A = this chain, B = another copy of it.
């Protein structure tokens, strides 16, 4: 059953959602029922820690820009944020260096290749965009701080502003990813070769693996997405999570590059800026309206949550959330 945490403000919600509010929780319940037995897909197994998850876990959360949260299923269950972290780290890098400088290090072009392709733009030698692994590592390497600890703390503090409370790193997942991340390490060295990232490779990779291993709930993700829908302001705490000047940039790359090599089809069919992670989460941002998060660990061949894609597609169609 959908839980709404702020039941009093129905009239406002109605307006924000552009729908008759009472129908909304019921529809989330309906979607949860409809897809909870869909067993398609497979759990990520590239690190043992991820493969231990219960494949039945499933939750849908929606947080509106006026602070309402609708949630159904295992919405407080923690899991690692994985590639969804790329979105937030990109914002921090933009805050630290500004748009122009970041663009010299990481492009914003979508690519038809897989997220882990060892490939840089032939002319510029930049990674194509901050949503592929190479680009995300380059992004993370831009985060400022004196030493590894300060950089980690700035990252964790950023997460805190988005979520509204402290977050923690899953040490087992971090260790596991660090010890098996040879492909990411290969990319980092290749970018070092082209001067796209500086010096301390291992520190940058550590911070990247740490940012991916941060634990969040589906509810947390919905609030994080809602902050992006709300000009960077956490709609519950009112805290500015990211400078409003960069929200447009973040949403743009989510829109064109966020869903791996399904990005184009997502933009075509669902049409909302979004990002997925191999832990099974998807976040989607409807600017000025709401943040959506779905969690279900069963992934399709491109690494996107099977149920997550279905739920977002239905929400987009039902409430006309497509950008066009």
Contact = CB atoms under 8 A, between A and B. Distances in A.
Contact of A112 (B128, B247, B252, B265): B128
Given A111-B112, A186-B186, A189-B189, A322 B271 contact: no
A167 interface: no
A57 to B, nearest CB: 29
Chain multiplicity (copies) = 4
Interface stretch (A31-39, A255-263, A304-312): A255-263
B248 A271 contact: yes
A287 B110 CA distance: 23
Interface in A89-139: 107-113, 118, 121, 128-129
Q: Size class of A's contact patch? A: 35 or more
Most chain B CB neighbours (cut-off 10 Å) among A112, A128, A187, A248: A112
A192 interface: yes
B118 A324 contact: no
A248 B322 contact: yes
Interface of A: 107-113, 118, 121, 128-129, 182-183, 185-190, 192-193, 247-249, 251-253, 255-257, 261-265, 267-268, 271, 273, 287, 322-324
Main secondary structure on chain A at its contact with chain B?
Answer: helix
A131 to B, nearest CB: 10
25 contacts: A107-B265, A109-B110, A109-B262, A110-B112, A110-B256, A111-B112, A112-B121, A112-B128, A118-B186, A128-B264, A129-B264, A182-B189, A182-B193, A183-B193, A186-B186, A189-B189, A247-B324, A251-B324, A252-B268, A253-B268, A255-B256, A255-B267, A256-B256, A256-B264, A273-B324
